[in-house]
């Protein structure tokens, strides 16, 4: 199967479309960086901060049984729900 070679103009057009799309999204993101920073400061001040994100493997010292890990993962969404659910811009 043959493919047509792309020209610089093809890439320039696609790049401009991408830049235009990004500019249209700028400032409309849901997250509010100052609110995230304040939440992180609060979390670091906790005596028992939340465990690592469930998408990462825990360090060896935190490895537990599959049952303990499952319970931890089920409990995580509620542990700091109030803090984590108010991170969007006020006008979002």
Higher pLDDT, 88 or 55: 88
Q: What is the mean pLDDT of residues 45-58?
A: 67
Question: What is the pLDDT at residue 55?
Answer: 44
CB atoms within 10 A of CB 14: 11
**Residues near 86 by beta carbon (within 8 Å), at least 6 away in sequence:** 35
In this prediction, residues 67-75 reach a mean pLDDT of 79
CA–CA separation, 17 vs 23, rounded Å?
10
Give the SS3 label for residue 31.
strand
Q: pTM of this prediction?
A: 0.42
């Amino acid at each position: 199967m043959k493919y047509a070679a792309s020209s610089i103009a093809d890439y320039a057009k696609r790049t401009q479309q991408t830049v235009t799309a990004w500019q249209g999204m700028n400032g409309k993101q849901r997250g509010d960086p100052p609110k995230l920073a304040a939440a992180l400061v609060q979390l670091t001040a906790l005596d028992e901060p939340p465990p690592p994100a469930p998408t990462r493997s825990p360090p060896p010292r935190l490895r537990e049984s599959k049952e303990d890990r499952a319970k931890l993962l089920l409990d995580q969404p509620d542990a700091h729900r109030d803090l984590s659910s108010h991170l969007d811009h006020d006008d979002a």
